[in-house]
Structure 1
Amino acid sequence: MVKILGFILLSGLVLISATHPEDRSVLEEFQRLRKLKPLGIEFADYFQNVTLGDLSLFDSQLPTQDDLQCLNDISMLVLALQGGQYWALKMIDSWGGIPSGIFTGNVYDLGNFDECINIKKDSLRGKYCFLDVSPAKILGVESSLSGIVKMKTATCFPASCSATHMNKFVDQILKRILNVTIPSTAMSISEDSCQTAEREPWNGLTILTIVILSLMGVAVTLATLYDYFLAKSQDQLPTAVKLFSARANSRALFRIVENKSNPNVIECLHGIRCMSLFWVVWIHQYDNVFSAPNINRFSFLSWIQTPFAMFFLEGNFSVDSFFFIGGFLVSLNTLGTICRNKGRMNVPIMYLRRLVRIFPILAMSILVYTQLTGVLGDGPLFKGGYSKKASCAKTWYMTLLFVSNFAKDMCLDHTWYLAVDMQLFLISPILLFALYKWGKKAAAAILVLIVLLSGCLFATMMVNHYSIKSLDFSLQKKMYFYTHTHAAPWLIGFLFGYFMYLNKGRKFKLNWIAAWSGWILCLAMLFTSIFALYPKIESGKPWLMTTLEVSSYYTLTRVGWPMAIGWVVFACMQGYGGLANSFLSSPLWQPLSKLSYSIYIWHSFIQEINKRIVRTNTYFTNYQVMLNFWSTMGFTVLFSYLLHLLIEAPIGGLDILLRPKMKAPAEIKPSTVSEQVGESNVDNVDSSNQRELEGTDSSADQLAEKSQ
């Protein structure tokens, strides 16, 4: 206990030095603590005199059966300590103490989790809990940091003792040693932080999740065995076998389609998609590191002022790249379908086919995150399994309805992008039919809509005085999660797809001045978007930016970034990409691009487990984060590949059942087809090209092409 008390008061020195430099009382208290006896002796001396009165609960004068059992186990522990028994010494040894590096921001001492919970002596079991400490409240210091600097240290008690008993013990010991009464809000043990070696029994949803994965695994195994040993050729495979065969789906996943064999394939999109995906995973890796038990937490303050940190702070542009690609592909591909069918398109089937591709893996992710996270790991920080399990119990349906970006507390935080993308996709038929019927007039109207949405974002930030230092999550939602804040990048991609469709097959002749000017302007827009705020952040006073500056930055970069990405795509398609095109169009990106949706869904699952299984404190450096990032990517790709074979490819392959039954609604006639969409001069983009671009091609798609 002396270690704990020293930890509390020494931690308080940090707060005192920041608020009351002249106050020396804490130093006096700390010197007094240094004269106290060691933890084991102090603990044993106190508990030798424990009575039922010490254990009595606040709302009852009579001891309960639980009180008596706890008292019996504490007495057993004290006798074992006096006798020097190994198991009792292990219980005391597993406690946390004064963490090294308090002045560098270390607020965790995890003790020894496994040593505590593995204690077994007759009916006595070890119980690991966190003691939450607020040094400022203990010392009576009024500080703005008191609500931020909260510390946790490990304790170990007999499992029969509840958090109420433990708090009673701690309170009694502090009264005896320091002759003070500690407020319950300043130092307490919560039952929510306690763990034993006994695992929680599986509930119905956990069993259901395992059963679903097992059944799909059996189906995939049987289909693969049939494919490998019994099938004479891939062309003769039954539909069901080809849907579930891991061999067939793997062949489709790793198939490389070269531009020479299919001129409709836009190869650079695979590279852009993969680079954006890496950026997203990398950002989330830093997010997890910041919330980990680092011993150098204060070094974040200096790191955040480095140029390298701007790639983290402005990582939202990675998602804007996804929105641009999404709008671009919807426009480019679907316009070909509309023109090929002379203005007819079955919108319900269009929606249903998209749901078939993305809904199954999303639904399974909710089950896996909430039900299997706790099954696959344990550790001091692993109590309760998935960290947002309670939120999922309330808002899981909003994730499945693709409105999670409006939820007060999201289930899977990173799926807000899927919600926004789906909402924009739902309105796309209106825009597509408008482009088909009114052509350039509709394109001009969409351009005006982009300006209006940008103005709405600017006005919202100005009126509400949003600033870069705002920590209010509700304000961040309005600036980042709402649909209209990301509609501009999607619509710019949508218009760019329309432009490329009108000019499909056309080769633009640019002189070297125009090509170089385009690249210089593109790079200027990209780097300005990322580093424009760096001078203010490097100065350590980003809050000095005016509301006008912040509003202008957010509004203009929402437009500038997708325009720059548009130039990259245009230059690569037209032969002006150079090294960028060679890199982005490498065939090696194609398999990873096809797997990108699964990787996006599952990377947070791997990061959640990796973060919460730690047994010791971590140390923050860029190099360490990169090591964690690549290990996360490796495991995520393997896990995503497995779930792709079990869920995404088989169920997504049911899309083939919808294609022969498509019935188009009434025809919408354009005013001038050749003028509006260039139908007479444009080759239609076929469905196989669409799946290649979207990264959803599977063996079922090949089967459908042969059956139609």
Structure 2
Amino acid sequence: MDNIAGFIFLCGLVLVSATQPQDEILNNFQQVTKLSHLGLEFADFFQNVTLSDISLADSRAPNEEDLLCLRDLTLFSNALKERKLWALKMIDAWGSIPSGILTGNRHNLGNYDECLNINKDISQGVTIRGKYCFLQTSLSAMLGSDIGALGVVTRIKTATCFPASCSAAHMNLFVSQVLQKVLNLDIPSTAMGISDASCQTSASEPWDGLTIFTVVLLSLMGAIVAVFTVYDYFFCKNHNELPAIVKAFSARANSRALFRIVENTSNPNVISCLNGIRCMSLFWVVFSHEYTGRFFAANLNLFNVLPWSKLPFASFILHGFFSVDSFFFLGGLLLALIALRTMDRTKGKLNVPLMYLHRLIRIVPILAVAILVYTKLMTVVANGPLLQGFSGETACETGWYWTLLFVNNYTNVKCLGHTWYLSVDMQLFIISPVLLIALYKWGKKAAAGIFVLIVLLSGCLFATMMVNNYSMMFFQNSFSIDAMSNMYFATHTHATPWLIGFLFGYFLHLNKGKKFQLSWISVWSGWILCLAMIFTSIFALYPSTQSNTPPLTTLEESFYYTLTRVGWPLALCWVVFACMQGYGGMANSFLSSPLWQPLSRLSYSIYMWHLFIQEMNAKSSRTNSYFSDYQLMLQFWSDIGITLVVAYLLYLIIEAPIGGLDNFLRPQKKPAGVQKTSSYPIQIVSDQKVHGDGPSKLKETETIAQTISE
């Protein structure tokens, strides 16, 4: 059992190597390299002990579970001595000391499937199955000291495989006795041990009522969609005259609407570039989540993350939260622009309750289904060494209602953590009628009041950072969870870009159809300032990440986060304005391409399901991954491809049908003399307002103008 001692020693080597003389480190490392497979050491020990040496029941009387475990261990011991294949597989499935601990490898996943596939009938009524568990060693607990965030990287896991009848308590007691009898070591259970939460067997757990409900719901919706699709295909010859109920549920009709390409026109009310801005931000969000999800996966080289964070490219990921501000800006702009134009036609009428109702109908159903799928179907559709006890399961089981109430941004329990933006955006949407009515009645005076509010909120953000000495530098010691909660998730700290977009929408409303004649100097100056703000926001902190640069002071960080939260949406104001006025050039050609339209319509579903696919793929992996930009790019295209398929299917059976039913709550078509709302930016938004969880995405109602007018 020298292997276990070496396992512990190697954990300590991660921290103490920097303080030891180089010769001593080399000698210790040479000693470690002579250690062999943990499972083989366990097998050698187990064959040379008797059951009297292993008291699984400790000092108490053995119960039925203890006796069952002892029986299977006896059978396993005999089979091991006889070199039976199933017993050898149980040893072969063990992991070893992770190679590359000094580069951050904290996992050895062993052979997950080999262990779980062990199913040996010994005699009538006696079957031995494999149980796959992680043996975890915590250096901080072993040393009896708190080493803060560094404790995460010193928690090392290696795979073990035992008979399924033995519980984690049995295995821990067995390991403890081995250490005491063989190595004369007494290690606390918090320092090394196996937990039941890390164990898996091939036996599938029976579905509970909620899992059955989720499967039945998805199956029922799929069947309904299939029936109406068949009816549409065989019995509806003219798709322009489809019955409303068929149009709502037919996959053929919804696919036709989803993939419809509308050519850009010269209509000044159509802001086609927003589709491109939304979709580019969507890719930014998913790509950033790909990285953040892989930072603490089973990487061979976790410690490479730190030097990676000092590269210029890392700034695109570490500051990906600007996509949040982009979508807050888009949300405020579209809400103000569409609502005010509709209020002009309805003489200021605003049906607020119906406005809220339509929004809830559009957003809540797919959100509720996502909670069910994340919580109940993750382990049904996938399996793997790291999938047991995945991150969102417990949070959704205990705090799902905070998400559906749109207040999870103020709670510590975040079911579907990326939906915090839904809460923030909904809270801003709830107060929007007050601002809309104020703008309609008092015009520029109300706009001035909103400008003052922007200044006050910016000052609040600055003061919050200064008073609490907060830092948002992710790879600095000064970063804290409190800073994320009070500065990143809070609604008032993200209201500024939304309000700027809101005011810009009011500006576009006042200048509807107006052509601004700008000199080439003004145009070039606008683009230079815009690009300067964008690149400054992303790369301004890059010099401070270098080793030879002193860290930023709280004052410097406070100015950075306060000013960029204002500067970023102002830069987007220029992009939208220039594209609308014909000064966008190549940027407008790219952002306004009709090819963005289908992806834009699907963006809400992509937002809801991309983390599900990313987590499922990452945690079902049977081998360690390697952290590098190229490997992450490969994984990104794999995940985004699967996400697109899943998002499309869920769009057809959940989002589109329920969204189509929302139309039944609306009045019939208005007289032909009334101008249709589709001539306004509804066409450009196409029912999708993407948003970001530092990055994330959100859906806005396609017919919000009708909603508000009612």
TM over 0.5: yes
CA distance in 2, matches of 1:256, 1:394: 43
Which residue, out of 490, 496, 504, partners 1:496? 504
CA distance in 1, matches of 2:261, 2:63: 70
Give runs of aligned pairs for residues 592-671 of structure 1, distance below 5 A. Answer: 592-660=599-667
In structure 2, relative to structure 1, the CA distance for the partners of 1:414 and 1:393 (3 Å cut) is same
> Which of 687-696 and 72-81 deviates more?
687-696
In structure 2, relative to structure 1, the CA distance for the partners of 1:701 and 1:170 (3 Å cut) is closer
Give runs of aligned pairs for residues 205-244 of structure 1, distance below 5 A. Answer: 205-244=210-249
CA distance in 1, matches of 2:585, 2:617: 39
CA distance in 1, matches of 2:533, 2:662: 40
Q: CA deviation at 1:33?
A: 10
In structure 2, relative to structure 1, the CA distance for the partners of 1:454 and 1:138 (3 Å cut) is closer
How much is the aligned-residue C-alpha RMSD, in angstroms?
A: 2.7
For residues 571-603 of structure 1, the C-alpha deviation after alignment (integer angstroms, 9 at most, x for no partner) is: 000000001001000110011011111111110
For residues 553-581 of structure 1, the C-alpha deviation after alignment (integer angstroms, 9 at most, x for no partner) is: 00000000000011000000000000100
In structure 2, relative to structure 1, the CA distance for the partners of 1:456 and 1:257 (3 Å cut) is same
Q: CA deviation at 1:3?
A: 4.1
> Which of 233-242 and 304-313 deviates more?
233-242
Give runs of aligned pairs for residues 317-328 of structure 1, distance below 5 A. Answer: 317-328=322-333
Query: What is the one-letter code of the residue matched to 1:445?
Result: G
Aligned to 2:135: 131
Aligned to 1:348: 353
Q: CA deviation at 1:259?
A: 2.6
Q: CA deviation at 1:660?
A: 0.7
Query: What is the one-letter code of the residue matched to 2:129?
Result: R
Question: Secondary structure of 2:157's match?
Answer: strand
Are the equivalent residues in 2 in contact too, given 1:2–1:39 (CA < 8 A)? no
CA distance in 2, matches of 1:433, 1:359: 26
Question: Secondary structure of 1:100's match?
Answer: coil
Aligned to 1:12: 12
CA distance in 1, matches of 2:144, 2:424: 47
Aligned to 2:84: 85
Which residue, out of 521, 540, 554, partners 1:513? 521
Q: CA deviation at 1:53?
A: 6.7
For residues 326-379 of structure 1, the C-alpha deviation after alignment (integer angstroms, 9 at most, x for no partner) is: 000000000011110111111111111111111111111111111111101111
Give runs of aligned pairs for residues 269-308 of structure 1, distance below 5 A. Answer: 269-308=274-313
What 5-or-longer segments of structure 1 have no aligned partner?
A: 664-682
- Normalising to structure 2: TM-score of the pair? 0.91
In structure 2, relative to structure 1, the CA distance for the partners of 1:224 and 1:12 (3 Å cut) is same
Aligned to 1:73: 72
In structure 2, relative to structure 1, the CA distance for the partners of 1:282 and 1:192 (3 Å cut) is same
Aligned to 1:455: 459
Q: CA deviation at 1:173?
A: 1.7
Q: CA deviation at 1:151?
A: 0.2
In structure 2, relative to structure 1, the CA distance for the partners of 1:48 and 1:73 (3 Å cut) is farther
Q: CA deviation at 1:177?
A: 2.6
Give runs of aligned pairs for residues 315-464 of structure 1, distance below 5 A. Answer: 315-384=320-389, 386-464=390-468
Are the equivalent residues in 1 in contact too, given 2:338–2:681 (CA < 8 A)? yes
Are the equivalent residues in 1 in contact too, given 2:131–2:163 (CA < 8 A)? yes
Aligned to 1:106: 105
In structure 2, relative to structure 1, the CA distance for the partners of 1:39 and 1:379 (3 Å cut) is closer
In structure 2, relative to structure 1, the CA distance for the partners of 1:655 and 1:139 (3 Å cut) is closer
CA distance in 2, matches of 1:40, 1:246: 56
Are the equivalent residues in 1 in contact too, given 2:333–2:504 (CA < 8 A)? yes
Q: CA deviation at 1:12?
A: 2.1
CA distance in 2, matches of 1:598, 1:571: 30
Q: CA deviation at 1:15?
A: 2.0
Question: Secondary structure of 2:508's match?
Answer: helix
Q: CA deviation at 1:148?
A: 4.1
Query: What is the one-letter code of the residue matched to 1:504?
Result: K
Question: Secondary structure of 2:379's match?
Answer: coil
Q: CA deviation at 1:540?
A: 6.2
Q: CA deviation at 1:264?
A: 2.9
Q: CA deviation at 1:40?
A: 3.5
Are the equivalent residues in 2 in contact too, given 1:19–1:143 (CA < 8 A)? no
In structure 2, relative to structure 1, the CA distance for the partners of 1:227 and 1:46 (3 Å cut) is closer
CA distance in 1, matches of 2:601, 2:463: 39
In structure 2, relative to structure 1, the CA distance for the partners of 1:31 and 1:379 (3 Å cut) is same
For residues 600-649 of structure 1, the C-alpha deviation after alignment (integer angstroms, 9 at most, x for no partner) is: 11101101101110111110110110111111111111111111110111
Question: Secondary structure of 1:388's match?
Answer: helix
Are the equivalent residues in 2 in contact too, given 1:243–1:649 (CA < 8 A)? yes
CA distance in 2, matches of 1:213, 1:191: 31
Aligned to 2:696: none
Question: Secondary structure of 1:399's match?
Answer: helix
Say if 2:221 is the partner of 1:193: no
> Which of 683-692 and 360-369 deviates more?
683-692
Q: CA deviation at 1:409?
A: 1.5
CA distance in 1, matches of 2:41, 2:538: 58
Query: What is the one-letter code of the residue matched to 1:95?
Result: W
Question: Secondary structure of 2:376's match?
Answer: helix
CA distance in 1, matches of 2:52, 2:63: 10
Are the equivalent residues in 2 in contact too, given 1:3–1:39 (CA < 8 A)? no
In structure 2, relative to structure 1, the CA distance for the partners of 1:143 and 1:696 (3 Å cut) is closer
Query: What is the one-letter code of the residue matched to 2:629?
Result: N
Are the equivalent residues in 1 in contact too, given 2:139–2:155 (CA < 8 A)? yes
Say if 2:698 is the partner of 1:693: no
For residues 24-46 of structure 1, the C-alpha deviation after alignment (integer angstroms, 9 at most, x for no partner) is: 69967984995899854653444
CA distance in 1, matches of 2:466, 2:387: 42
CA distance in 1, matches of 2:38, 2:99: 18
Q: CA deviation at 1:227?
A: 0.6
In structure 2, relative to structure 1, the CA distance for the partners of 1:297 and 1:175 (3 Å cut) is same
What 5-or-longer segments of structure 2 have no aligned partner?
A: 122-126, 689-698
Aligned to 2:116: 117
Question: Secondary structure of 2:374's match?
Answer: helix
> Which of 136-145 and 202-211 deviates more?
136-145
Are the equivalent residues in 2 in contact too, given 1:2–1:38 (CA < 8 A)? no
Aligned to 1:534: 542
Task: Work out the percentage of aligned pairs sharing the same amino acid.
Answer: 60
In structure 2, relative to structure 1, the CA distance for the partners of 1:294 and 1:32 (3 Å cut) is closer
Are the equivalent residues in 2 in contact too, given 1:323–1:490 (CA < 8 A)? yes
Query: What is the one-letter code of the residue matched to 1:18?
Result: A
In structure 2, relative to structure 1, the CA distance for the partners of 1:320 and 1:136 (3 Å cut) is closer
In structure 2, relative to structure 1, the CA distance for the partners of 1:484 and 1:537 (3 Å cut) is same
Query: What is the one-letter code of the residue matched to 1:686?
Result: T
Question: Secondary structure of 1:373's match?
Answer: helix
Query: What is the one-letter code of the residue matched to 2:404?
Result: L
> Which of 433-442 and 28-37 deviates more?
28-37
Are the equivalent residues in 2 in contact too, given 1:653–1:701 (CA < 8 A)? no
CA distance in 2, matches of 1:478, 1:143: 25
Are the equivalent residues in 2 in contact too, given 1:94–1:112 (CA < 8 A)? yes
> Which of 462-471 and 83-92 deviates more?
462-471
CA distance in 2, matches of 1:526, 1:36: 53
For residues 97-150 of structure 1, the C-alpha deviation after alignment (integer angstroms, 9 at most, x for no partner) is: 122211111111011111111111111000010001124655789966456411
CA distance in 2, matches of 1:282, 1:37: 37
In structure 2, relative to structure 1, the CA distance for the partners of 1:620 and 1:35 (3 Å cut) is closer
